[in-house]
Amino acid sequence: MRVIDVRVREGYQVLVGSGLLPQLGGEMARVGRRGSAMLVSDDNVAPLYLKTAKESLEKAGFRVCSFVFPHGEENKNLQTYASLLNALAEEKLTKSDTVVALGGGVTGDLSGFAAATYLRGLGFVQVPTTLLAASDSSVGGKTAVDLPAGKNLAGAFYQPDLVLMDVDTLRTLPEEEYACGMAEVVKHGVLGDRRLFDQVKQGPGRFDEEAVIARNVQIKAEIVAEDEFDEGKRQLLNLGHTIGHAVEKASGLTVPHGQAVAIGMAVAARAAWRMGLSEENCAPEIEQALVNNHLPIRCPYGPEELLKAALSDKKRRGDTIHLILPRRIGECYRHGVDVSEIGAFLEAGLR
């Protein structure tokens, strides 16, 4: 098992290893959680892992209740959020109790936002079961739900008390879902670790999964420790996300997040080189890494559709949208683009 410390204001540990899910209850007790636990999962993950998680928690002395919702980004909304809050109230959870997110990024985002806002905050534990959640979204404390106007527009910063990642749960992932996680893994390599990028650029099966997940967590943890509330350096983690969120919105959330991020990275890298904003032409290597990991690199939407969606992105500041661009593989920077110039940037990246 690998242990990564996330050194934010109220620090916590991320545990990465095989066979960890049956140890969930004991690990939660070790970090001081007691009382009741609300297991939150979707209807894909619950049949696979809810029973094991429940038995582990009960063995450690927790009273366990559960909330299962329909899977999919389209259900990470205010209606599901309200239903979860009502479930917490009906089960009479108190501030000393814990919400446990068992699933992927949608489950983690939804559960965390409920934990942050119910009674103004109760315990929160992340148990990611997808590569995307394990390598990225379960760490750092960003929680949110979507609004009709855009993705993650209602949310809060709320760090978990513990993240427990059992790599065995990845064995049940569909190939497309696994590939979506690889988008975030490739992103972290482009962002800050050439060696990691080289490890994963040939595709699945060519790397030590546990070590790669742990390295992704470490990269994100180091950035979050410097900028917990996304006021500066942490915005580097948005590589591929501004354009990616626009792709998601334009698709009506039918394009999965990982695929959208992959498209966003490819578009940003092409545009950065063509507009003289990168020191090296990173696009060919990034594109090949994404293709090798079964991810798309071409956008199905034109600049007009993407521009309309991008203007509602939460990373916009007045008339400026900040994009994360690669200088070279392993180094990125933040670049502000006036909204009047975004169209030209998108056109350069979509060619």
In this structure, the strands spanning 123-128 and 98-103 are: parallel
Task: Based on the fold, state whether residues 74 and 127 are members of the same structural domain.
Answer: yes
Tell me, yes or no, whether 44 and 153 share the same domain. Answer: yes
Query: d(Cα 321, Cα 146) in Å, to the nearest integer?
Result: 20
Domain membership of residue 90 as a residue range: 2-172
CB 342 within 8 A of CB 264: no
Name the phi and psi angles at 295, rounded to 5. Answer: -120, 150
Which of 172, 204, 226 lies at the terminal end of a domain, its last residue? 172
**Model-level pTM?**
0.94
Residues 181 and 128 in one domain: no
DSSP-derived secondary structure letter, 320: E
Distance of alpha carbon 234 from alpha carbon 61, whole angstroms: 38
Q: End of a domain among 140, 172, 204?
A: 172
CATH code, 119: 3.40.50.1970
Are 124 and 234 found together in one domain? no
| Rounded Cα gap, residues 6 and 295, in angstroms | 29
Domain identity same for 106 and 203: no
Q: Are residues 284 and 216 in the same domain?
A: yes
DSSP result, 169-193: GGGGS-HHHHHHHHHHHHHHHHHH-
Instruction: Looking at the structure, tell me whether residues 16 and 102 fall in a common domain.
Output: yes
List the Cα angle 160/163/169 in 5-degree steps.
140
CATH of the domain at 219: 1.20.1090.10
The CA distance from 128 to 135, in Å, is 9
pLDDT in tens, the chain (351 residues): 999 999 999 999 999 999 999 999 999 999 999 999 999 999 999 999 999 999 999 999 999 999 999 999 999 999 999 999 999 999 999 999 999 999 999 999 999 999 999 999 999 999 999 999 999 999 999 999 999 988 899 999 999 999 999 999 999 999 999 999 999 999 999 999 999 999 999 998 888 999 999 999 999 999 999 999 999 999 999 999 999 999 999 999 999 999 999 999 999 999 999 999 999 999 999 999 999 999 999 999 999 999 888 877 656 667 888 899 999 999 999 999 898 899 999 999 998
Residues 260, 253: Cα–Cα separation, whole Å:
10
149 and 293: one domain?
no
Q: Based on the domain organization, do 101 and 59 belong to the same domain? A: yes
Q: Are residues 16 and 88 in the same domain?
A: yes
Give the chain's domain count.
Answer: 2
From 172, 203, 229, give the residue that closes a domain.
172
Same-domain status, 184 and 332: yes
